[in-house]
Amino acid sequence: MVGDGSILITGGAGYIGSHTVLVLLENGYDIIVLDNLVNAWKDDSVQIPEVLQRVERLSGKKITFYQVDLVDKDGLSEVFKQHKIDCVIHFAALKAVGESCQEPLKYYSNNVSGSITLFKVMKEQNVKNLVYSSSSTVYGSPEYLPLCEKHPTGRTCTNPYGKSKYFVEEILRDLVTSDKGWNVISLRYFNPVGAHPSGDIGEDPTGTPNNLMPYVAQVAIGRRKELLVFGNDYDTPDGTGVRDYIHIMDLAEGHVVALQNLLKPSSTDRFNVFNLGTGRGYSVLEVINAFSEVSGRKINYRFVARREGDIAVSYCSPNLAKDSLGWTAKRGLKDMCEDMWRWQTKNPNGFNKDQQPSE
Binding region for a copy of itself (CB under 8 A)? 101-105, 108-109, 112-113, 116-117, 119-120, 123, 152, 154-155, 159-160, 163, 167, 170-171, 174-175, 177-178
66 among known catalytic residues: no
Residue 7's contacts (CB-CB under 8 Å, 6 or more residues apart) are 24, 29, 30, 31, 32, 85, 86, 87, 88, 89, 259
Between CA 248 and CA 212 the distance in angstroms is 14
Q: Smallest distance, Å, CB 210 to a copy of itself?
A: 17
Burial class (CB in 10 A: 0-12, 13-18, 19+), 166: buried
Report the interhelical angle of 50-59 vs 15-26 (nearest 10°).
20
What minimum distance in Å lies between the beta carbon of 316 and a copy of itself? 22
| Least gap, CB of 152 to a copy of itself (angstroms) | 8
Min dist. Cβ of residue 33 to a copy of itself (A): 24
Name the helix (H) or strand (E) containing 64.
Answer: strand 64-67
Q: Is 32 helix (H, G, I), strand (E, B) or coil?
A: strand
Nearest to 143 by CA among 154, 134, 133: 154
Q: Which is nearer to a copy of itself, 120 or 264 (CB)?
A: 120
C-alpha 15/C-alpha 35 separation (Å) is: 12
Dist. CA 202–CA 351, nearest whole Å: 9
Cβ closest to a copy of itself, residue 135 vs residue 278: 135
Among 29, 107, 132, 161, the active-site one is: 161
Indicate the angle between helix axes 248-263 and 15-26, nearest 10 degrees: 60
User: Measured from the CB atom, is 119 or 234 closer to a copy of itself?
Assistant: 119
H or E segment to which residue 282 belongs: strand 282-283
Name the maximum alpha-carbon separation found in the chain: 56
Q: How far is the CB of 103 from a copy of itself (least distance, A)?
A: 7
CB contact at 8 A, 316 and 244: yes
d(CA 357, CA 91): 27
Toward a copy of itself, which CB reaches closer, 173 or 297?
Answer: 173
DSSP 166-232: HHHHHHHHHHHHH-TT-EEEEEEE-EEE---TTSSS----SSS-SSHHHHHHHHHTTSSS-EEEE-S
Shortest CB 112 distance to a copy of itself, Å: 6
Q: Which is nearer to a copy of itself, 143 or 323 (CB)?
A: 143
Which of 101/145 has CB closer to a copy of itself? 101
**Cα 281 from chain centre:** 18
Nearer Cβ to a copy of itself (104/199): 104
Residue 192 beta carbon to a copy of itself: minimum distance, rounded to whole angstroms: 25
Active site residues: 161
